[in-house]
Amino acid sequence: MILAIETSCDDTCAAVLDGGRIVVNLISSQAEAHAGFGGVVPEIASRQHLELAAPVIEAALKEAGVALGDLDAVAVTVGPGLIGALLIGVSTAKAIAAPRRLPLIPVDHLQGHVAANFLEPEPLPPPFLCLIASGGHTLLAGVHDHEGHEVLGQTLDDAAGEAFDKGARLLGLGYPGGPALQRLAEDGDPEAFEMPVAMARDPGLDFSFSGLKTALVYRCRELGEEATRERAADLAASYQAAIVHQLTSKLERALKRGNWEAVALGGGVAANGPLREAVSELCERRGVRLKLVPLKLCTDNAAMIGSAARYSTPIAYPDYLGFDAFASGETPLVA
């Protein structure tokens, strides 16, 4: 029985897992607190996690009917993410684990997104190719086993979700921008405006989205305020199509190169309807199995952290007391 905690960005999450089965998976979104700013404000995220961590964990344990004494381990996201936000999760996990001499299992957030696919009731066994696209990350992961992943390509600048959020903001939509931009795009023509698809001629598997955002700035400027408002749906549809196109074309290239037989999607952008359709069509065309986990497991959650923890090395008490969170890069060694 594992208690898992995830606080890397703007969702305070706690889950209880019994092996690969989710007993409870709670997510307290801070979206409202950040909405007025058009993006996540790190300081606000930390303060919200501080207030929410204990009640969310308590609620998860209560709903699971599990007492702290029933736990075998505590798993927690240690990075990458917002350092202040991560520290709240790591400190809370230590504070729960240490008095009970429980092992602590540090989990990499991105491996968490990969591990969402290992959860019951239909776990996807490796090997598979995983596209993770969220507000903070965009990468193609080669998943050869349960323990880790190989980064085949990643964004060189903005994440795909960030591109959605920034585009939405330019079009006067709220935060998070992805769902709002998708809704607006439903009434638009994806071919109305030409948008650049970056990295198309680059032979690698990396992504880039910052030029697209700049292109939208210029289109809006050329159109002027009134025409931008009138053509907002066409702008949104064209912008979204360029993001989806870049994601799926790199995915196809990786599929061809690696002879992968299965594909999985993760991260908040995996909720995007046109992306799901395009990836489904691609997988069908190439005769590849596609695994789409439920949306609640695509966006940040603690069940995926508990899932990754099952295949990670636990740290025994008291060795983890010096363990720290990290904002980016590799997991640091235990101090």
Binding site for Zn ion (CB under 5 A): 134, 300
Which residue stretch of 20-28, 62-70, 85-93, 175-183 sits at the interface with ligand KG4 (rule: CB under 6 A)? 175-183
> What residue type is 153 in one-letter code?
G
State whether residue 241 is helix, strand or coil.
helix
Residue 255 tokens, joined: 């599929």
User: Is the peptide bond preceding residue 125 cis, with omega within 30 degrees of 0?
Assistant: no
* Total residues interacting with ligand KG4, rule: CB under 6 A: 19
| Residue 100 or 183 having the CB closest to ligand KG4 | 183
Dihedral over Cα of 148, 40, 183, 296: its sign: positive
Residues 6+ apart with CB under 8 A from 325: 78, 79, 81, 83, 86, 87, 89, 90
Q: Which does 161 bind (CB under 5 to 8 A by kind): Zn ion, ligand KG4, none?
A: ligand KG4
By the rule CB under 6 A, 176 interacts with ligand KG4: yes
| Residue 267 or 314 having the CB closest to ligand KG4 | 267
State whether residue 90 is helix, strand or coil.
helix
Minimum distance between the CB of residue 10 and Zn ion, rounded to whole angstroms? 10
Instruction: Give the x/- contact pattern for ligand KG4 in 134-173, rule: CB under 6 A.
Output: xxx------------------------x--xx--------
Q: Which does 271 bind (CB under 5 to 8 A by kind): ligand KG4, Zn ion, none?
A: ligand KG4
Minimum distance between the CB of residue 24 and ligand KG4, rounded to whole angstroms? 19
By the rule CB under 6 A, 79 interacts with ligand KG4: no
d(CA 78, CA 170): 33
By the rule CB under 6 A, 89 interacts with ligand KG4: no
Q: H or E segment at 181?
A: helix 177-185
Enumerate residues 265-284 that contact ligand KG4 by CB under 6 A: 267-269, 271-272
Instruction: Give the x/- contact pattern for ligand KG4 in 6-25, rule: CB under 6 A.
Output: ---x----------------
Which residue stretch of 45-53, 132-140, 222-230, 321-329 sits at the interface with ligand KG4 (rule: CB under 6 A)? 132-140
By the rule CB under 6 A, 299 interacts with ligand KG4: yes
φ, ψ dihedrals at 275, nearest 5°: -65, -45
By the rule CB under 6 A, 211 interacts with ligand KG4: no
Cβ(98)–Cβ(331) below 8 Å: no
First to last CA, the chain: 27
Q: Which does 30 bind (CB under 5 to 8 A by kind): Zn ion, ligand KG4, none?
A: none
Range list of β-strands (E), the chain: 2-6, 11-18, 21-29, 73-79, 104-108, 128-133, 138-143, 150-154, 262-266, 289-292
Residue choice 103, 177, 306, 314 for contact with ligand KG4 (CB under 6 A): 177
d(CA 76, CA 51): 17
| Closest residue to bound Zn ion by CB | 134
Q: Which residues bind ligand KG4 (CB under 6 A)?
A: 9, 134-136, 161, 164-165, 176-179, 182, 267-269, 271-272, 299-300
